[in-house]
Amino acid sequence: MSRYRGNATAAGWFFIVAAVAAIAGLALYQPALGDPAYVLGAGSDGRVLLGGFLEVVLAASCIGTAVALYPVVKRESESVALGYVCGRLLEAAVITTGIAATLSLVTLRGAGSSTEVARALIAVHDWTFLLGPGLVIGVNSLLLAWLMHRSRLVPRWIAVLGLIGGPLVFVSSTAVLFGLYEDTSPWRFVAAIPVTAWEMSLAVRLIAKGFTRPVDREPLPHAGALTTA
């Protein structure tokens, strides 16, 4: 068995854990984000706290995918692989900022805070949600898909999903950023489908079969000018 088989399996599970944590976390703390009057209630909200914890799991999983794949994909292009690691770190940092804003709503609950403060914190979360799982993830998906496509470490159709999905979700998030349509627009949902399909198909492939070609003791083919020594 290739010594990189474990990296493939770990990366696949990190992708799945990140997806599950993102969906569950958003569902759990939605009450706090949907109504600024939430802070006027009494006591803490276990649902929101659990949602925040799952968002921490999401941020850690984002970093985990990059750490697990870096020893493999750096053989194709060390500079692009390093860019992917840095991009995932940035994505995790932006997500963590949104978590802090959301959990602050729990702290303010019942403390006599105004709904204006709540609206400000919700706005911080909404912007981080757009920047992290929107703009940054688009760039990260493109970088990893490019590495996978050139190295042929996964079936080409999977890499193509990332090459399409990454730019598409980036463009969609940019459109929301400049007010061309709302974050809740159906176009936003449609634009996210290819990148979601990319991550999940990549995850299943890595867990079930690993990489399509051996990478031990051999350089990856077609290394370009971005490869460093």
Q: What angle do CA 127, 132, 138 make, to 5 degrees?
A: 125
Amino acid at 36: P
Please state, in angstroms and rounded to a whole number, the distance separating the CA atoms of residues 24 and 44.
19
What local confidence, expressed as pLDDT, does residue 43 receive? 73
What local confidence, expressed as pLDDT, does residue 222 receive? 52
Phi, psi of 42 (to 5 degrees): -110, 145
Which residue ranges make up each domain of the chain? 5-208
- 92: nearest Cα among 49, 55, 47: 55
Cβ contact 84:143 at 8 Å: yes
In tens digits, the chain (229 residues) has pLDDT values of 577 899 999 999 999 999 999 999 999 988 889 888 888 887 778 999 999 999 999 999 999 999 999 999 998 899 999 999 999 999 999 999 999 999 999 888 877 678 999 999 999 999 999 999 899 999 999 999 999 999 999 999 999 999 999 999 999 999 999 999 898 899 999 999 999 999 999 999 999 999 988 765 455 455 444 443 3
Amino acid at 126: D
What local confidence, expressed as pLDDT, does residue 184 receive? 85
Amino acid at 28: L
Please state, in angstroms and rounded to a whole number, the distance separating the CA atoms of residues 52 and 58.
10
What local confidence, expressed as pLDDT, does residue 31 receive? 84
